Amino acid sequence: MKVTKIHARLIGYTGLSALSYALIVLTLTYLFAIKRYELRVDDRIVPALNEQLATHVKSLPLGIRVWPEHKAQEIQKQFPWIKSVSFFRTPAQTMRVSVVIDEPVIKVNEAILTKSRVFPASTFTQTQIAALPTLSVHFPIATDRADIPPAFIPHAQTFATELFAPYSITWFDAYTARLTDKEQPNFVIQFNAQSIPDAKMFAHCATIKKLLQERGSFEGRKKQTRWIADIRFERQLILFSEDKGVTRG
């Protein structure tokens, strides 16, 4: 085949275009490609977990084709204590990674609760845990002290207030829970997630407890009787007794 001037020009243009493309790619790579990651961690998380996170971030792909939104989802899935992840590309070919943790609000038994989730206490530093309000709750159905029922989580901070301090808490499920008077264990307030007692109800129950005391309901032969003030019903309180496992209206 005879090579004409037109063919030669086409070959020249193709070669020039390829060279130009290569130069553009090299320039973009030199100017914009990610060569390293910098991680900003939260010092409330224990060092071992932060080190795991740092190792993971350092393993993220380098170069021009970096898609932060996909990596953010991946990081949050692997490290559930992270609430959000942000990426910031710097002119120095560095990708800065910042994480915001799911804020701890209270320690319940051996678990740390946020507004909506439960984490092992080992996730956070002792300094952070010491700064949190603490609550001891009996969960009869749970097999582990760190096992917190989801229905309990939204109410945890309420139970840590002074109103509930005179009582020990037993949470069966979202439909049944009990507050046992610490001074008089035979007096119990029964409630559920929809009927958590307020100051007015506590005052009403205190009046009932006083009347029972005046009647001698906690003494003598009645020492084994437990009195239950059930407030689970709208606009009414039902008082009944439990004597050696037998319920009496």
pLDDT tens column, 87-119: 887 777 787 888 999 999 999 999 999 988 999
Kindly list the domain boundaries of the chain, sorted by start residue. Answer: 1-32, 33-101, 161-248
Range 45-56 average pLDDT: 93
Determine the pLDDT at residue 246. 47
- Residue 222 predicted with pLDDT over 60: yes
Give the Cα separation of 244 and 248 in Å (integer).
11
- Residue 198 predicted with pLDDT over 70: yes
- Residue 39 predicted with pLDDT over 50: yes
The matching CATH number, chosen from 2.40.128.720, 3.30.390.10, 3.10.20.310, 3.40.50.2300, for 33-101 is 3.10.20.310
Secondary-structure percent of the chain, ordered helix, strand, coil, rounded to 5:
35, 30, 35
Give the Cα separation of 178 and 232 in Å (integer).
11
pLDDT tens, 62-84?
766 656 667 788 889 999 999 99
Per-residue pLDDT band for 219 (boundaries 50, 70, 90) equals confident
Give the Cα separation of 200 and 188 in Å (integer).
16
- Residue 20 predicted with pLDDT over 50: no
- Taking phi over 0 as left and psi of -120 to 50 as alpha, with beta for the rest, 83 belongs to alpha
Determine the pLDDT at residue 17. 52
Per-residue pLDDT band for 19 (boundaries 50, 70, 90) equals very low
What is the chain's alpha carbon radius of gyration, rounded to the nearest angstrom? 32
Which of 21-25, 190-194, 210-214 is predicted least confidently? 21-25
